[in-house]
Amino acid sequence: MSSSESSPRVIGYARVSTKGQDLAYQLDKLAAAGCTLMFQEKRSGKNIHERPQLENLLRSLRAGDLVLATVTDRMARDPLDLLNILKDVKAAGAGLRLLDEPFIDTTSEMSDLIVFLVGWAARWQRRRILENTAQGRERAMKRGVKFGRKPKLTPVQRQDVKQRRQNGERVVDVAQAFGVSESTILRV
């Protein structure tokens, strides 16, 4: 085994939820902290099993490695997911440290308790976001805001479709005239 294979590595993990978000802050912070290997992805943090780069990182860990991320919710939103990640890191003989939350460091005696509490807080925050979104959606609906796709046909066009069909025009011809599918015409 070469010395590079046996020496501990500093491994970074960066994640954002959507393709439109930027990883630059996290990547810069991880590079400045000495990460020699980085895993990054643009995926939701809700489910750790739908994040292939996180899974690759966890599978690659060796004894003595140190995993760095910027904050808790980059690793996991759910405290149980965070504890499972921590369990995998510890099982590999590695450590986990969060750069913007220095109290999260698996080398301390209180790390399990702190990681659980911070993970719980992230889950609580996510629940609040979902509740706020639902309340906003409900208020918008009361104001008459329509959700979902816009109808393919206006009310006037729908009347025209009905009239054409009553006059015996074929579905395929009506659909072609309006530039929509036959199923759209059949639903009218």
- Whether 17 sits among the annotated catalytic residues: the reply is yes
* Strand ordering across the sheet containing 66-69: 37-42, 10-16, 66-69, 95-98
84 CB contacts (<8 Å, ≥6 apart)? Answer: 48
- CB contact at 8 A, 126 and 119: no
Catalytic annotation, pick one of 6, 17, 108, 183: 17
CB-based contact 62:94 (threshold 8 Å)? yes
Distance CA(127)–CA(152), nearest Å, equals 35
Nearest to 34 by CA among 64, 66, 1: 66
CB proximity list for 188: less than 8 A, separation 6 or greater: 153, 158, 161, 162, 165
Residues belonging to the active site: 17
